[in-house]
């Protein structure tokens, strides 16, 4: 309770002290000029009385407009934060969208270059996802994508980042992770997807994923990095799907 009142008490003391000091100076100057009787006690009582009377309304007049302005500014900041979040979030799966995961990758690469630490990425594609849409409809397909995204997010480690790269593709950015460790993580994801049941209207479906993985090489252009992970994913697809290829 006292903690909540402390700012109010400090404000009242500050306003009251300012009014008291100002009025005291005015009274003393007027006394020196002979405009009021020369009495320090009178000046003190006058300043104290004015401070007591004027502090509450002054505080009200100052504090409430400032408080309204502060609340309006906070609301604007929250709206801006929400708009920024939505700009990098996939509306369906609620993971990062293509733009968001690319920004995250660039940040991870910058940290990798600065501190000479590894960073890897994996590109995941749901095998034969078109069949889900054709058989159960696009709404069911959307629900399956949501479930896959949730499973991926649950499987990844805290520092890892996940984004929907497009359609049924997801991009994983793995800081502080070399290629061998990335292969292990990708295999764990592949197995979890294969073993899971994904709900569709009136039942469940089984899915598999193909994953291409690679590690960023210091100084290489982003185009080369994506070309390499694309080739790895393509190789996984061409080799029979439900496979991880790391290169």
End-to-end Cα separation, the chain, in angstroms: 62
Sign of CA dihedral 48, 52, 53, 56: positive
**pLDDT of 75 strictly over 90:** no
Q: Is 242 found in the same domain as 137?
A: yes
Picking from 87, 115, 146, the residue at the C-terminal end of a domain is: 87
Q: What is the mean pLDDT of the chain?
A: 83
* Domain assignment of residue 82, given as a range: 2-87
CA distances from 232 to 1, 87, 106, 134, 246 (A): 62, 29, 20, 27, 6
Q: Is 161 found in the same domain as 205?
A: yes
Sign of CA dihedral 104, 109, 110, 112: positive
Per-residue pLDDT at 201: 86
Q: Is 240 found in the same domain as 171?
A: yes
| From 168, 176, 220, 224, active-site residue | 168
Per-residue pLDDT at 53: 58
Q: What is the pLDDT of residues 156-178, one digit of tens each?
A: 999 999 999 999 999 999 999 99
Q: Contact at 8 Å (CB) between 180 and 92? A: no
Q: What is the pLDDT of residues 11-51, one digit of tens each?
A: 656 655 665 666 656 666 666 666 555 565 665 555 565 56
Give me the number of domains the chain comprises: 2
For residue 125, the cross-strand partners are 169, 210
Q: Is 102 found in the same domain as 145?
A: yes
Picking from 55, 87, 119, the residue at the C-terminal end of a domain is: 87
Average pLDDT over residues 127-143: 96
Per-residue pLDDT at 73: 67
Number of C-beta neighbours around residue 43 at 10 A: 21
Q: Is 49 found in the same domain as 130?
A: no
Distance of alpha carbon 32 from alpha carbon 216, whole angstroms: 81
Q: Is 137 found in the same domain as 215?
A: yes
**pLDDT of 2 strictly over 90:** no
> Looking at the domain assignment, is residue 82 inside a domain?
yes
Question: Annotated catalytic, 176?
Answer: no
Q: Is 109 found in the same domain as 82?
A: no
Q: What is the pLDDT of residues 173-230, one digit of tens each?
A: 999 999 999 999 999 999 999 999 999 988 999 999 999 999 999 999 999 999 999 9
CATH number for position 198: 3.30.70.270
């Amino acid at each position: 309770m006292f903690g909540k009142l402390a700012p109010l008490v400090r404000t009242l003391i500050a306003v009251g002290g300012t009014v008291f000091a100002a009025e005291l100076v005015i009274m003393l100057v007027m006394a020196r000029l002979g405009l009021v009787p020369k009495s320090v006690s009178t000046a003190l009582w006058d300043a104290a009385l004015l401070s007591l009377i004027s502090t509450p309304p002054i505080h009200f007049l100052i504090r409430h407009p400032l408080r309204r302005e502060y609340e309006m500014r906070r609301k604007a900041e929250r709206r801006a934060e929400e708009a920024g979040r939505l700009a990098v979030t996939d509306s369906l799966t609620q993971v990062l969208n293509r733009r968001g995961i690319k920004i995250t990758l660039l940040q991870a690469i910058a940290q990798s270059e600065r501190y000479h630490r590894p960073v890897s990425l994996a590109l995941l594609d749901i095998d034969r996802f078109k069949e889900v849409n054709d058989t159960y409809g696009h709404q069911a397909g959307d629900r399956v994508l949501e479930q896959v995204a949730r499973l991926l997010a649950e499987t990844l480690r805290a520092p890892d980042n996940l984004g929907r790269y497009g359609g049924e593709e997801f991009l994983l950015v793995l800081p502080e992770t070399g290629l061998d460790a990335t292969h292990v993580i990708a295999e764990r994801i592949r197995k979890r997807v294969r073993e899971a049941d994904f709900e569709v209207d009136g039942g469940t479906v089984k899915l598999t994923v193909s994953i291409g993985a690679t590690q960023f090489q210091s100084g290489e252009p982003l185009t080369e990095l994506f070309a390499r992970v694309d080739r790895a994913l393509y190789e996984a697809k061409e080799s029979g799907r439900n496979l991880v290829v790391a290169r």
